[in-house]
């Protein structure tokens, strides 16, 4: 295990990390508190847009915002898998559109059961990821080259599958419900209570496990404060959603995947190997880790999540067309995790960055739409935010290296 691995723990006799204001500021500047940085950024963004347009923080608009970020957030979960091994997948936009098209054509034109069609769409994404990952590892071709070529291939496949009409309208209620189902306030509060309870249980059990193993852990007060913040945010979010249409199923799906992949990356052997390969592939290979297998699996998961996001986007729009997976979807899906602290250099990050980053990108996009800004301005602002995030990541990495940290 190495420094930077989320399960890394200092020896028992190592001094506990200081929680003084100066030390917290140092860690903040070094990128160790990326989540805090992003949460503060979201707060500033929301305040700015609310001042410009009082409808921004309305229950209706925030519900729409949560719905808008689900597809991008799901795709970003897969992007995190690629980023953790220090690679990039430029085909995720085209894959999301193509997988959604496969699902739609099988269900609408060939009469497949809706759930079998959904599985086929996700399976299409998994096969694409496996093929691209195999080409990348077998022939040592840079991943961005393989996936850039793939983006052209899958865009062409999308047009071929859709046929001359160019659009397939979804009519099956089971598929449409994935993005258009809202639960009652009672269900919303129950889900919130269960979610916060599980977060508290996982956080405190991890603290006890570290102490029992004789290794250092964060102060109990800090952990309780973190649980408290999560509880407050969850209560406010559910209250807002309940005042409009209720808790959307799409948001539950997003959180389920985020929590599942967070567990995969932080509590399993595969997750530890993922960080090890991203941190130093040669050292991981010498330690007996199958670098090739980890890379192929990571890119397979990346494309699979692109398919999941594409299918949910199709369900929300109730159609698949030639522009599905296009526009700035690729930029937003990659920018989100990077903005929220997942390093482009590999070996450092969290699946939660997919959710936080999607919220940042979605908030900016939603706010600019309410202000009726021109598309040119939207692209420049989004690109500027991504560039700023990359610069912060590079500076933080340089500071850690200067102090002898990985």
Closest to 309 measured CA to CA, from 110, 139, 94 = 94
Query: How high is the pLDDT of residue 348?
Result: 86
pLDDT-derived band at 11, boundaries 50, 70, 90:
very low
What does the pLDDT average to over 100-125? 96
In this structure, which topology does domain 21-184+246-402 adopt according to CATH? ABC transporter involved in vitamin B12 uptake, BtuC (1.10.3470)
User: Distance from first CA to last CA of the chain, Å, rounded?
Assistant: 12
The SS3 assignment for 247 reads strand
Query: How high is the pLDDT of residue 405?
Result: 54
Q: What value does the mean pLDDT of the chain take? A: 86
**What sign for the dihedral angle of Cα 254, 256, 259, 261?**
negative
Residue-wise pLDDT tens digits, 210-248: 888 887 777 788 788 878 888 998 999 999 999 999 999
pLDDT-derived band at 16, boundaries 50, 70, 90:
very low
173-176 contacts, C-beta under 8 A, 24 or more apart: 174/114, 174/115, 175/103, 175/107, 175/114, 175/117, 175/118, 175/311, 175/314, 175/315, 176/315, 176/318
Rg (CA), the chain: 21
H helix runs in 280-374, sequence order: 281-286, 291-317, 329-339, 352-370
Q: pTM to 2 decimals?
A: 0.87
Query: How high is the pLDDT of residue 6?
Result: 40
The answer on pLDDT for 91 being more than 50 is yes
Beta strands in 106-246 (DSSP E): 167-169, 182-183
User: Structural domain boundaries of the chain?
Assistant: 21-184+246-402
Inter-CA distances, 382 with 67, 291, 329, 342, Å: 19, 34, 12, 17
Range ranked top by mean pLDDT from 39-53, 88-102, 229-243, 367-381: 88-102
Query: How high is the pLDDT of residue 159?
Result: 94
State the angle between helix axes of 173-180 and 249-266 in degrees (0 to 180), rounded to the nearest 10: 80
265 against 27, higher pLDDT = 265
Closest to 307 measured CA to CA, from 109, 145, 92, 147 = 92
């Amino acid at each position: 295990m190495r420094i930077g691995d989320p399960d890394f723990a200092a020896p028992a006799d190592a001094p506990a990390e200081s929680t003084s204001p100066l030390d917290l500021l140092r860690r903040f500047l070094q990128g160790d508190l990326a989540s805090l940085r992003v949460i503060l950024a979201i707060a500033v963004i929301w305040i700015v847009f609310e001042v410009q347009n009082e409808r921004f923080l309305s229950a209706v608009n925030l519900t729409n915002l949560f719905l808008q970020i689900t597809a991008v957030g799901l795709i970003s979960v897969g992007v995190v898998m690629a980023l953790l091994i220090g690679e990039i997948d430029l085909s995720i936009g085209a894959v999301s559109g193509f997988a959604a098209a496969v699902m739609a054509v099988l269900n609408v034109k060939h009469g497949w059961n809706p759930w079998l069609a959904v599985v086929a769409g996700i399976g299409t994404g998994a096969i694409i990821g496996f093929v691209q990952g195999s080409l990348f590892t077998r022939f040592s071709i840079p991943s961005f080259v393989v996936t850039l070529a793939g983006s052209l291939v899958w865009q062409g496949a999308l047009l071929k599958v859709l046929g001359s009409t160019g659009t397939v309208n979804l009519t099956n209620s089971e598929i449409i419900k994935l993005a258009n189902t809202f639960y009652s306030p009672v269900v919303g509060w129950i889900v919130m209570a269960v979610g916060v309870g599980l977060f508290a249980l996982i956080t405190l059990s991890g603290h006890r496990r570290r102490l029992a193993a004789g290794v250092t852990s964060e102060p109990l007060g800090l952990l309780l404060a973190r649980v408290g913040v999560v509880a407050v945010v969850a209560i406010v979010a559910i209250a807002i959603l309940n005042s409009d249409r209720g808790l959307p199923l799409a948001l539950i799906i997003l959180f389920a995947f985020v929590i599942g992949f967070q567990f995969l990356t932080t509590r399993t052997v595969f997750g530890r190997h993922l960080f090890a390969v991203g941190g130093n592939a040669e050292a991981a290979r010498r330690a007996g880790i199958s670098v090739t297998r980890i890379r192929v699996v990571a890119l397979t998961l990346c494309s699979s999540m692109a398919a999941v996001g594409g299918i949910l986007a199709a369900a929300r729009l109730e159609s698949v067309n030639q522009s599905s997976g296009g526009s700035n979807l690729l930029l937003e899906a990659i920018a989100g995790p990077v903005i929220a602290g997942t390093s482009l250099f590999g070996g450092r990050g969290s699946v939660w960055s997919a959710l936080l980053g999607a919220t940042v990108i979605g908030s900016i996009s939603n706010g600019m739409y309410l202000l009726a800004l021109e598309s040119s301005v939207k692209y420049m602002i989004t690109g500027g935010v991504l560039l700023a995030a990359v610069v912060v990541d590079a500076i933080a990495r340089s500071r850690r290296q200067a102090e002898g940290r990985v």
